[in-house]
Amino acid sequence: MSKTLGKSLIPIIGVFLVIFAVSGGRAAEELNIYSARHYDTDLALYERFTEETGIKLNLIEGKSEELLARLTQEGEFSPGDVLLTVDAGRLWRAEQAGLFAPVTSPVITDRIPAHLRHPDGLWFGISKRARVFIYNKEAGVPSGITTYSDLADPSLRGQVCVRSSSNIYNISLLASIVAHDGAEAAEAWTQGVVANFARDPQGNDTAQIRAVAAGECRVGIANTYYIARLMRSEAEADRAVAEKIGVIFPEQDQRGTHVNVSGAGLLAHAPNKENALRFLEFLTSEWAQRLLADGNNEYPAVASVNSVGPVSTLGTFKEDEINASALGENQSLAIRIYDRAGWR
């Protein structure tokens, strides 16, 4: 096997990685993957699939929005077979653009829980992240902070650090609150959290973790992926930051902690549908699930596969089993609620 690295047809998309498989002097069948996942572990995933099947993978990487724009522009002439991206909200955007075709697979249905699959088989989650509270250990566990609604409690006035409302993770979190509690309750929650800001929203989830560790704020919100990444960092300073924060999984006596997914779907105009289905089913295999989860600090989507990476040390938790498609369906309303509350 060899790798050839070339330029994408559209420079902004980024890298066009081709993994070749040659058998008996003849080129193998092909599979064209558009991916918004930029993790080194995924390369090992692609290589293993090619080794097992002899199918040559052509990989086009880019930001999710750029890939969706490219696929829309290419239309029925697109060479794309599979789309991989992060967050159910982005999968929903691809769905709304008509980019997916439904998949019927007993393998996927058996292995992936129903709440992590689109009801009509348009896409499914391949790994999970939980959106949790983080707190400063030195300051102690904030009293009574057990649900997402508690983050709006006046007792936390001036003590909460968060990232921008335009971030897809926060949009999906609020979309889930809308689905569970209704728009009125979601708006009240958003206004309460804004009143509790320790500073204007800024930075990514790692920035919130660092701010909490530094005592700039008492509590914050972050995806477990970012916490585990600091825990396993080669930099001692990063590991020290992780040591200074504690984790609370919200809603353990209620609906369960909000989870989001990295996901995959068959593209509507896929020229290699059979190969695409083989790849999608491969993503649910135990080997692939372990690589996707432990190699990238996430949780497996397949319930029977246990995580053994740093994220597993954060503890077990009850997860919210609302169907992930709801995170997209309530997306636009969530954005309007954020805007009205002044959460920028």
Q: How confident is the model at residue 9 (pLDDT cuts 50, 70, 90)?
A: very low
Question: Which CA distances in Å does 91 have to 69, 133, 227?
Answer: 13, 25, 24
Position 37 in a domain: yes
At 263 the pLDDT is 96
93 is in which domain, residue-wise? 2-127+261-305
Regarding whether 139 and 118 lie in a shared domain, the answer is: no
Q: What is the mean pLDDT of the chain?
A: 91
Regarding whether 141 and 276 lie in a shared domain, the answer is: no
At 3 the pLDDT is 38
At 307 the pLDDT is 81
Regarding whether 247 and 295 lie in a shared domain, the answer is: no
At 306 the pLDDT is 86
Q: How confident is the model at residue 28 (pLDDT cuts 50, 70, 90)?
A: low
% of the chain residues with pLDDT over 70: 92
At 22 the pLDDT is 35
Regarding whether 298 and 195 lie in a shared domain, the answer is: no
Position 35 in a domain: yes
Mean pLDDT of 311-331: 94
Q: Is the pLDDT assigned to residue 231 strictly greater than 70?
A: yes
At 274 the pLDDT is 97
Regarding whether 54 and 170 lie in a shared domain, the answer is: no
pTM of the model: 0.88
At 187 the pLDDT is 97
Q: Is the pLDDT assigned to residue 288 strictly greater than 70?
A: yes
Position 226 in a domain: yes
Regarding whether 140 and 123 lie in a shared domain, the answer is: no
Regarding whether 148 and 247 lie in a shared domain, the answer is: yes
Q: At what angle do helices 88-96 and 331-341 cross, to 10 degrees?
A: 120
At 152 the pLDDT is 97
Position 312 in a domain: no
At 199 the pLDDT is 96
Q: Is the pLDDT assigned to residue 21 strictly greater than 90?
A: no
Position 122 in a domain: yes
Position 320 in a domain: no
More confident residue, 208 or 3: 208
Q: Is the pLDDT assigned to residue 16 strictly greater than 90?
A: no
Regarding whether 330 and 193 lie in a shared domain, the answer is: yes
Q: What is the pLDDT of residues 234-280, one digit of tens each?
A: 999 999 999 999 999 999 999 999 999 999 999 999 999 999 999 99
d(CA 77, CA 270): 9
Position 67 in a domain: yes
Q: What is the pLDDT of residues 40-79, one digit of tens each?
A: 889 999 999 999 999 999 999 999 999 999 999 999 999 9
Position 16 in a domain: yes
Q: What is the pLDDT of residues 87-141, one digit of tens each?
A: 999 999 999 999 999 999 999 999 999 999 999 999 999 999 999 999 999 999 9
Q: How confident is the model at residue 296 (pLDDT cuts 50, 70, 90)?
A: confident
Regarding whether 273 and 244 lie in a shared domain, the answer is: no
- Interacting residues of 120 by C-beta distance below 8 A, sequence separation 6+: 102
Regarding whether 211 and 298 lie in a shared domain, the answer is: no
At 6 the pLDDT is 37
Q: Which CATH number do you get for residue 144?
A: 3.40.190.10
Regarding whether 335 and 190 lie in a shared domain, the answer is: yes
Regarding whether 188 and 44 lie in a shared domain, the answer is: no
Q: Is the pLDDT assigned to residue 301 strictly greater than 60?
A: yes
Q: How confident is the model at residue 4 (pLDDT cuts 50, 70, 90)?
A: very low
Could you give the number of structural domains in the chain? Answer: 2
Distance of CA 303 to the CA centre of its chain: 17
